[in-house]
Amino acid sequence: MAKEKTNAVASAAAAASPKKKRSIVKYFKDARSEFKKVVWPSRKQVVNNTLVVIVALVVSGLAIWALDTGFGSLLMLMLGRTG
């Protein structure tokens, strides 16, 4: 019985090997065809979106800095320390 299981597992693995190779090839063919369907942004759109992100980061950073400075000063006033 154990030998039958071993043979069954070995034959299943042997049968899956060529199928696995075909599925990998099919995967890359499908991926290539999907990349052909992608609508890539123009250089102008990429530059514009990059600038928007940079501006948003600077504004967010300044807002966080201002809040941190304000809360720090408030805490120092509450504790009666000068700094």
- With contact defined as beta carbons under 8 Å apart, do 41 and 49 qualify? yes
**Greater confidence, 69 or 82?**
69
Hey, where are the domains in the chain? Answer: 1-38, 41-83
At 13-70, the pLDDT tens digits run 555 566 677 789 999 999 999 999 999 999 999 999 999 999 999 999 999 999 999 9
Q: Is 0.85 surpassed by the pTM of this model?
A: no
Quick one: the chain helix, strand, coil %, rounded to 5?
Answer: 90, 0, 10
- With contact defined as beta carbons under 8 Å apart, do 35 and 27 qualify? no
